[in-house]
Amino acid sequence: MTDNMEISPQNSDQDDSDDERRRSRGRREHLINLPSHRRRTKSEVDHDHYQMINDRIVEDITLDFMYKPRTLTILSFFCAVLVYLAFRNDTNADDNLYQGLLGALSLFLVVSALAFPNGPFIRPHPIVWRTIFGLSVAYMVLLQFCLFLTYDQIKAMLVYFDPVGLSAEKLVEKEYAVNCSDLSWARVWSHMDIFAVGHFLGWAMKALLIRHNNICWLISCAWEFTEVIFTHLLPNFEECWWDAIGLDIFLCNGLGIFVGLRISNFLSMKSFHWESIKDIKSTRGKVRRAVLQFTPESWSQNNWTDVYAIKRTFAVFLFVMIWLITELNTFFLKHIFVIDTSHPVVFWRIILIALISAPSIRQYYAFATDPRVKRLGMQCWVYCAVCALEAAICIKVGRDQFQPAKLLLIAAWIFFMFAMTFATILLSVKWAERNKDLTKKVEVEGTERRAYIDSSCENLGMLDDEVKERRRQLGVDSKKKL
**What are the extents of the domains in the chain?**
13-130, 435-482
Asked whether the beta carbons of 238 and 176 are under 8 A apart, the reply is: yes
User: Among residues 66, 98, 59, 102, which one has the least CA distance to residue 82?
Assistant: 102
| pLDDT score for 269 | 40
| pLDDT score for 71 | 72
Distance CA 120, CA 56 (A): 6
Q: How many helices (H) and strands (E) does the chain have?
A: 19, 2
Distance CA 107, CA 341 (A): 30
In a structure prediction context, what are the per-residue pLDDT tens digits for the chain, which is 482 residues long?
Answer: 334 333 343 444 444 445 444 444 454 444 444 454 566 676 766 677 677 777 666 665 555 555 566 677 777 887 888 788 777 766 677 778 888 888 899 889 988 888 888 878 777 778 889 999 999 999 999 999 999 999 999 999 999 989 988 988 888 777 777 788 878 788 778 777 778 888 899 999 999 888 888 899 999 999 999 999 999 888 888 888 888 898 889 999 999 999 998 888 887 643 322 233 334 445 555 445 444 544 555 545 555 555 446 777 888 899 999 999 999 999 999 999 999 988 999 999 999 999 999 999 988 888 887 777 888 889 999 999 999 999 999 999 988 777 777 889 999 999 999 999 988 888 887 787 777 666 667 665 566 666 665 544 444 444 555 556 655 665 555 444 43
Distance CA 308, CA 295 (A): 35
Report the amino acid identity of residue 197: V
Asked whether the beta carbons of 140 and 385 are under 8 A apart, the reply is: yes
| pLDDT score for 457 | 44
| pLDDT score for 209 | 86
- Non-local CB neighbours of 430 within 8 Å, separated by 6+ positions: none
Distance CA 31, CA 465 (A): 10
Asked whether the beta carbons of 222 and 417 are under 8 A apart, the reply is: yes
Distance CA 37, CA 147 (A): 55
Q: Which helix H or strand E contains 141, and what residues bound it?
A: helix 126-146
Report the amino acid identity of residue 447: T
Cα dihedral sign for 248, 252, 258, 261?
negative
CA distances from 160 to 191, 299, 339, 364 (A): 35, 44, 14, 37
| pLDDT score for 105 | 92
3-class DSSP assignment, residue 240:
coil
Residue 192 main-chain phi, psi, to 5 deg? -85, 75
| pLDDT score for 125 | 77
Let me know the angle formed at the C-alpha of 169 by 163 and 173, rounded to the nearest 5 degrees: 110
Provide the pairing of β-strand 447-452 with 439-444: antiparallel
pTM score of the predicted model: 0.75
Q: How many CA atoms lie within 13 A of 181 on its CB side?
A: 0
| pLDDT score for 286 | 46
Distance CA 17, CA 61 (A): 9
Per-residue DSSP letter, 184: -
| pLDDT score for 257 | 94
